[in-house]
Structures are given as C-alpha cells and as structure tokens.
Structure 1
Amino acid sequence: MADTAHWIGRGEALARLGVKSQTLYAYVSRGRIAARPDPDDSRRSLYAAHDIARLSGEAVEAEDSAVYRRTPGGAARGEADVCSSLTAIAGGRLFYRGLDAVQLSETATLEDVARRLWDARATNPFAEVRPRIGAVPGGSIRARLFAALARRAEEDADPKTRSVEDLRLECARVLDEAVDAAVGSGPRLFLHQRLARSWKTPERDAHLIRRALVLSADHEINPAVVATRAAAGGGAAPAAAAFAGLLTMAGSPMMAELTRASDWIVAVRRQAADAARRAHEMGRLVGFNAPEDYPAGDPRAAALLAAADLPADLARAVQEGEAATGRKANFPLALAVIARRLELPRDGAADLFLLGRLTGLLGHALDQATNGSPIRSRLRYVGPEPGAH
C-alpha cells in the first residue's frame, strides 16, 4: 500500500474524529496524533490514519499498526529522529548491542550488562568505583534514588570536556551511588547482591533480582530515552540526562501498569481463579497485554517467570490470568510476581525496574554524548494566530 494511504487531510480527520480543529491540534501537540507536512502543499498538514482510527474507536488493520510504529524516513512518532546503538527488538527477541537479553540474563550481572550497553567491554569502570560516605535523604527508595541523581547532576554540571573513559567511570559511580542511596551502604558486593542483602532475600533467590535488573535495563525507544538523549545532546552530564529520563519513566504508562499489576497480584494470590475471572469480566485485569513487538509473548516475562519456581498461589494467579485473557503475562506482571515471590516491599517491583532501567538510560546519555547524531525534531505551532484577540 502506498504511504499516502496512511495519511489523511484535516477535513477527513475532523470528520472521522467528530471534533473541532482546536481539539485536533491539541491531540497533535500532546503526541496522540502524528502529523507531517503535506508534500503537495507545505502550508497544510496530513495526519496519521492509524492514530485517528485508534482515537475514534475504529478497527486498526495490522498493516497500519506496523507502518505507524515509525514514520517515513525512520523518524519516531512525534517527528523526533533518534539514532541508538544500544538495543534492538527483532524476531520477537530483545538484543543488547547484538546479544540476546534473555540469554544474557541467565548469567550476567547488572554490571556486565552496563559495560555492554556503555560499550566498555575492554575496561571495567566499576573497578575504580569507591563507596561514598554520606546518606541521601528520603523516605522511600524512589525518593532516595532521585535525591542521589539530583546531587550528582549538580556536582557533575561543570561543562568541561571529558574523555569517553571518564564518562564511563562517571556512569559507574552514578549507578553505584544510586544503589547505595536505595538500600544503604555495605559490603562492596555485586549490585544485585547489595539489593538482596538489604531486602533480606535468601542467597538462593538473589539470582531473581539479578535477572530482573538485567531484563529491565533497556527496551525500545520511548519518551524516557528521548528525554535522556535530548538532555545529553544539550550538554547535560550523564547523571542529569539519566535523571531526566528516569523522571519521565516514573510517570509513564508502563509504571502505572506495573503498579496496578502489583496491586492485583497482592489481591488475588489467595483466590486467584475467582479474582482473575471477576477482574477480567470488569475490564480490570492488567498485565496480559504484550507489546506489538512480541506477537508470541514477551520473552523477558517468560524467562523471569520460568526461573522463579513460583509457589502454587502465584503460579495459579498467572495461569488464571492467561486463561481469562487468552494472552501471555507481560513484563510488568512478571516483575510484580517476582516482587511477591521474594516478599519485597510494596513498591519493590517498581524499584527494581527503575534501578535496572537507570543502567540503560546512562548508556543512552553516554551514547548520545560520544556518538550520537543531533536529534532532529520540529515544533509545529498550533495555537491562535499571532495578534489574535
């Protein structure tokens, strides 16, 4: 199908949505509808038919869905063109710089994955990291994590030129301090072991924390990655750039789903079958809608759950949820299950995810600062005419 078939004019967009021009422009400005200039008349815009169909409740064909994951020329939705050498999804699998992330999670530590994502395989920046004295304020792990990043962002704000090796060491220090801020200082063990020690996780189960961190490290290009790279491209230090991305991630739909999945697991683990059926009937069952890139199910979730040796109640909750929806458990649900399996604090699944994802965001900051091409984006003004009253 020709590309033009997937872009429609303003009049058709308004008719299909049943809204006024101001609402259409608001959808575009908020990123809910992709827009691009009309190649035949640059004064006009064309709008993504896929987004129009989604918002109007029309059926979306699979071909349309595939086309609109990226706009012509490779630009991501919202017209920001981001080049990354870190992560790719291909054939329903996730790859970190060419290596299967699920296979890596079998044995790799978060430090191993950090070195790979940071392209630091020849040297080990963590070997030069030393513990930092001084507690970080905050009542929760997330609050202390954000406070630690804010502190580093201020300290590293000097715009002096740094070598790639210096930047990698800086990233290692940021990640090390983030874990210390989250769970307190202690023996200089691997990052996942320090988390397990703080959470009083038995040594035999610490590998689940390691796997969860590794599989959380990075994923597709999303607003958090764009925020990180935009900050790094503007001159921000790795800590500041990653902080921008982590704040974006903290308010994302992914985190909201993770919270709902955690709440659901807590509620159903004793009566999984009845609760799953009732939740599905009420449209409240979450954690079973895999991303489009994984038609056979999210391999991260499958790997994490397979390694967990789940007790009967948690296994039954997953099985009944899959039976009720006809879909496999997704990664947020798997993280929520692991958190309950390990008896982590209530926000343990979200904390695990944010600490793991910090590794990838630091990688994006580093990649953008050292190898990244300028992020090409365009702001299209859709407000009142200049001088209008």
Structure 2
Amino acid sequence: MTDQAAPDDRADARAERLTTRETAERLGVKPETVYAYVSRGQLNSRRAPGGRGSTFDAAEVDALVRRTGRREPSPAGGDLVFRTGITLIETDRYYFRGVDATELTTHYSYEEIAEWLWTGELRPGIRFTAPAEALAAARRSVGALPAHSGSTDRLRVAVVAAAAADPLRFDLSREAVLGSARSLIPTLVGALPTAVGAPATADGEAASHPSGLAHHLWPKLTARPADAPSLAALDTALGLLIDHDLAASTLAARVAASARAHPYAVVSAGLGVLEGPLHGAASSLAHRMLTEVLERGSATPVVADHLRTGRQVPGLGHRLYTAEDPRARTLFARLAEVPQAAPALAAARDVVTTTARHTPLHANIDLALAVLSVASGMSAEAGETVFAVSRTAGWIAHALEEYGERPLRMRPSGQYVGPRPPQSLPAPGQASTHGDRPQ
C-alpha cells in the first residue's frame, strides 16, 4: 500500500505560505508591524524551513486585510497615495474614468460630465436644480455678509446654510449623497449676488436653459450680456476643472469624507483649502498680469518686472505637465471662437513667448481662466469662483469613493519635537523653552 499524507498535511502542502516581507507588502505595513499582529493573536506564524525567519498563511493574511483595510504603503518620496478611479494624469493628458477629459468637454455640458463622473452613466440634457428652501437660506446668509466679502466667503457661507436646510444631510447612502450634490451646486451659484448692471436670472431658468449652470453663473460674474460662444467657453471651463487628481483641496475633502463628514462638510473642507493663495487664487494673479499687459501694450515690461523682483510669472508652468496644460489648450481653443477675447488671447500668447526667452514655461489653466475673465469684463476673482463651483463636483466624486473605504484611515503620526516630559508646571508669565518653535 502506497504511503499517503494525512488530510491536514495535504492541506498544509497546498496552502500558500508568505515570507515576512511578502506579508508586510500585502498588508501595506512594516515588517515589525507583522510581528505585532502575531503578538496580538491576529496572525499565526511558522518557522521557515531551515529555521530562518517566519512564514504566514496567505489566506489568513488576506482575511486580516479584509478586516482592517489595506493601508497603501508610502512611496519613496513619502507622499500619500490613494486608489482612485476618477482621474488619471499621464503623458501630458488627463482622463476622467479613462476618457480624455478635454474630449468630454467638447461634447458634453458641465452637468452631464459631473453626473457621469459620479455615477458612470451619461444622462444627456441633465440639469441641476436648487431646492427653494435651501436657496432662500443660502441667499439670506450670503446677503448678511459685509459688502467687501469675496466670492469664496460667500460660497462657504452658502454651503453651511444649505446644509442647515437639509435635515437628512447625515444620510451617506449613495443616492442621498448624489441628491445633495445635484441640489448643492446650483444652490451655490444661485446664492451669489448678481453682478452690478447684469440682468437677474429667474430661479428656474437655469434648469431649462440649454447651457444650464453656465447660463446661471454668467450674470454672477459679469454685467456683459451672454452670447453663445462666451457661454460655451464658460461651460468648457467648468467641465475642465471638475477634478485634477489629489490637489490640496481634494485631499482635504477626502480626509473629511474619511471621518464620515456629510457631503456639505466635505465641500466646506475643500473650499477652506481652495481659498489659500497657492491654490484657488492663482488665476486672479494671472488676470491682473494680463490686464497690465493690455494696458502697457506689451508683455515685455510686465514680465521683466516679475523677473526683476523675483516673482514667478503667473499662469505658466505646472508640475504635472511638461508641455502646455491640456486644460489651457482646450479653453484657449474655445476662447478663439469668442471675438471679444482676441486681445486677451494675444496678450496671453505674448506672455508665453516673452517668458520663453528666459525659461521655457508653458501656459496653464490659470492663464486661460484669466483670458476668459479679462475678455468678459469679469473681476479678478472670477476665475476662483469658476474653479470653486466646478471643483465641488470633483470633491463629491472623491467623497463617494472615500465613503466606500475604511473610515478614519488617514491618521498620520506626529513627530513630537517639544520638551521631553516630565516638565514642571509653568509659572505665570514664564515662556516655554520651545516658545520660538512654530506651533
């Protein structure tokens, strides 16, 4: 009779065994953490053949991954990495759900792209509508702000008011979040004051107008009458800016969603970061530069002033693109169809050409937004407004992804650099020994 292995031995022979390093990679942790799991009884180890190191059952490791949620290992640069199916940026192009984003904006409206980004379903002709109660609350709140308040101030207050008007905002089911998103974006636009001299837009007009949200936003930005090419350019800008991977404001939105903040709070987090001068306000600098170029008749003295004072020329260069920002290229092409944009477009090209004599930088989306705002008689902060309204859809898309992840997974550890305990109680007026450190 042929010798046969016992049933348990056969199972062990078939079971996949992992080394400590392989186990750590599968869990997304350091090797020391693997042994911490062993000491807590969450993993079982076995000495490797020959007595060197330990091995772990692959099925048991995978079960632990499912229970705890895999923590993606940090790359060599130390940057955070998140799995996302929303935006891919590579080879000087960017894609929404695998589709060239610039192509999307030439065929579909902002609302259609936003809906597709959220759901993966294209719904031609969809228009977002603001609920009357939320819109009224947002307008009252925004109307109470000081006259000098900026558009981002107004948008942040409008989000809070809209949240207060939605008693079901804590429902984080997918359909509930989508409903909140479809109502919040037009509420933000509707809460903004109409530009001085511009005709008021009826509350329900945006929902039925072919240009949708762009038509409703236009009179909030400028008193000039809207023509079809200009509305198309604004709608294109909105579509192009919906998302751009994990920009600073989007990361803040995902952190909020990780803590299971409701979608209004997620948008508030994004707006808070967007208000920084290194993010959303960049287009206003380009707007002022283009205005000066038009006033002085040439980009040469304007660029020279920036270089002489050590200031970066606004609207040029992007860390993710080696060539021209594809968003800028697409918006420039749309603006070329707007007759009154010709002088601002020429000024932008003059800036790029003049700067290239010193350093080969290409136009980015901030310069294209500046052309739109200057050509349309908008204020310097109009580009920031367009950016904020548009990116709200992207923040919601990322929130929907993050709600499906393990909660509170973004919990970095601080590197404490203060005085070592124990320290005596401080006396009144006594300064800390580390009082000169940034807090």
Mark the CA change 1:227 to 1:124 in structure 2 (over 3 Å): closer, same or farther: farther
Distance in 1 between residues matched to 2:274 and 2:94, nearest whole Å: 19
Corresponding residue for 2:414? 380
Corresponding residue for 2:328? 301
Corresponding residue for 1:217? 242
- State the SS of the aligned residue for 1:354: helix
Q: CA deviation at 1:223?
A: 2.5
- State the SS of the aligned residue for 1:311: helix
Say whether the 8 Å CA contact 2:267–2:396 is kept in structure 1: yes
Residue 196 (structure 1) aligned to one of 218, 224, 249: 218
Say if 2:278 is the partner of 1:273. no
Q: CA deviation at 1:273?
A: 3.1
Distance in 2 between residues matched to 1:358 and 1:157, nearest whole Å: 20
Say whether the 8 Å CA contact 2:299–2:354 is kept in structure 1: no
Say whether the 8 Å CA contact 1:224–1:245 is kept in structure 2: yes
Corresponding residue for 1:360? 394
Runs of 4+ in 1 over 6 A off after TM superposition: 37-40, 122-125
Q: CA deviation at 1:285?
A: 4.8
Q: What residue identity is the alignment partner of 1:387?
A: P
Say whether the 8 Å CA contact 1:126–1:173 is kept in structure 2: no
Mark the CA change 1:204 to 1:223 in structure 2 (over 3 Å): closer, same or farther: closer
Say whether the 8 Å CA contact 2:253–2:270 is kept in structure 1: yes
Moved more, 251-260 or 166-175: 251-260
Q: CA deviation at 1:318?
A: 2.6
Distance in 2 between residues matched to 1:242 and 1:313, nearest whole Å: 32
Corresponding residue for 1:260? 285
Corresponding residue for 1:52? none
Corresponding residue for 1:142? 152
TM-score by length of 2: 0.66
Say whether the 8 Å CA contact 1:322–1:329 is kept in structure 2: no
Say whether the 8 Å CA contact 1:276–1:321 is kept in structure 2: no
Say whether the 8 Å CA contact 2:116–2:122 is kept in structure 1: no
Q: What residue identity is the alignment partner of 1:150?
A: V
| Count of residue correspondences | 324
Residue 181 (structure 2) aligned to one of 132, 152, 171: 171
- State the SS of the aligned residue for 1:253: coil
Mark the CA change 1:228 to 1:285 in structure 2 (over 3 Å): closer, same or farther: closer
Q: CA deviation at 1:203?
A: 2.8
Q: CA deviation at 1:120?
A: 5.2
- State the SS of the aligned residue for 1:95: strand
Corresponding residue for 1:66? none
Q: CA deviation at 1:277?
A: 4.0
Distance in 2 between residues matched to 1:312 and 1:355, nearest whole Å: 27
Q: What residue identity is the alignment partner of 1:195?
A: L
Quick check: which has more Rg, 1 or 2? 2
Distance in 2 between residues matched to 1:383 and 1:273, nearest whole Å: 48
Tell which has more relative contact order, 1 or 2 (C-alpha 8 A, sep 6+): 1
Mark the CA change 1:75 to 1:121 in structure 2 (over 3 Å): closer, same or farther: farther
Say whether the 8 Å CA contact 2:316–2:367 is kept in structure 1: no
TM-score by length of 1: 0.74
Distance in 2 between residues matched to 1:145 and 1:94, nearest whole Å: 27
Structure 1 unaligned runs (5+)?
1-36, 41-71
Say if 2:225 is the partner of 1:237. no
Mark the CA change 1:212 to 1:39 in structure 2 (over 3 Å): closer, same or farther: same
Mark the CA change 1:316 to 1:122 in structure 2 (over 3 Å): closer, same or farther: closer
Distance in 1 between residues matched to 2:369 and 2:128, nearest whole Å: 31
Say whether the 8 Å CA contact 2:314–2:367 is kept in structure 1: yes
CA distances 1:150-198 after superposition (whole Å, capped 9, x unpaired): 1133344757544312211111111121111125652133001111244
Mark the CA change 1:164 to 1:120 in structure 2 (over 3 Å): closer, same or farther: farther
Corresponding residue for 1:59? none
Say if 2:302 is the partner of 1:291. no
Corresponding residue for 1:114? 114
Pairs within 5 Å for 1:19-30? none
Say whether the 8 Å CA contact 1:126–1:169 is kept in structure 2: no
Say whether the 8 Å CA contact 2:172–2:262 is kept in structure 1: no
Q: CA deviation at 1:306?
A: 2.1
Identity within the alignment, %:
24
CA distances 1:285-306 after superposition (whole Å, capped 9, x unpaired): 5235422321122111111112
Residue 361 (structure 2) aligned to one of 324, 327, 336: 327
Mark the CA change 1:123 to 1:213 in structure 2 (over 3 Å): closer, same or farther: closer
Mark the CA change 1:125 to 1:131 in structure 2 (over 3 Å): closer, same or farther: farther
Q: CA deviation at 1:117?
A: 1.9
CA distances 1:134-157 after superposition (whole Å, capped 9, x unpaired): 224244433321111111333447
- State the SS of the aligned residue for 1:166: helix
- State the SS of the aligned residue for 2:380: coil
Say if 2:263 is the partner of 1:228. no
Q: CA deviation at 1:340?
A: 0.6
Q: What residue identity is the alignment partner of 2:272?
A: L
Distance in 1 between residues matched to 2:248 and 2:129, nearest whole Å: 30
Residue 315 (structure 1) aligned to one of 346, 353, 363: 346
Residue 344 (structure 1) aligned to one of 373, 378, 387: 378
